[in-house]
Structures are given as C-alpha cells and as structure tokens.
Amino acid sequence: MARTPTEARETPPDIATLSFEQALAELEGIVKALESGQGALEASVAAYQRGAALRAHCERKLAEAEQKVQAIVEGPAGLALRDVE
C-alpha cells in the first residue's frame, strides 16, 4: 500500500501506544515493503529502524502476556491469579 507524500510526512503513532496487534500489522507492512526492494535507501533505513522498534515492542507485549498466563495457578479453590511484578 503506497503512501501519499502528505501521509509520508505525518508522524507515525508513538509505538508505546500501539496494541500488539497494531504493532504487528505495521511491522508486517514494513517487512513487505522492504522485501519489495523498491524504496529509496534512506526510506528503507528509516523503515528498518521503525521495524526494529516495533519488533521490540511486540516482544515486550508478548513477555507481559506470558507473565500473566504464568500467573494463573491452580489452587484448592480452582484457578486463581497470583500477583505479577
């Protein structure tokens, strides 16, 4: 999906505010664009940098989710959540 010159100048949303799904979708778009090899070098480098930040964000979100899942413990009363740091 090509962006118009106006869209290209707009500041992308702050990565920290993105959900896992939003960040992953954007990362997938960046990967597809980079794989096409049709972008300018400077734009490709910027996209790669954003992609690296999106990847790190997704990894953090997955780690948080994993901690929450691991916090589910089975006790005498059935499944319960324990405190997670």
Q: CA angle 58-34-23, nearest 5°?
A: 20
Question: What CATH code would you report for 15-81?
Answer: 1.10.287
pLDDT above 70 covers a percentage of the chain that reads 72
| More reliable by pLDDT, 3 or 31 | 31
Distance between CA atoms of residues 82 and 85, nearest Å: 10
Does residue 67 register a pLDDT over 50? yes
Does residue 82 register a pLDDT over 90? no
The per-residue pLDDT of the chain, averaged, comes to 82
Distance between CA atoms of residues 56 and 71, nearest Å: 23
Question: pTM for the full model?
Answer: 0.70
Does residue 6 register a pLDDT over 50? no
Distance between CA atoms of residues 29 and 34, nearest Å: 9
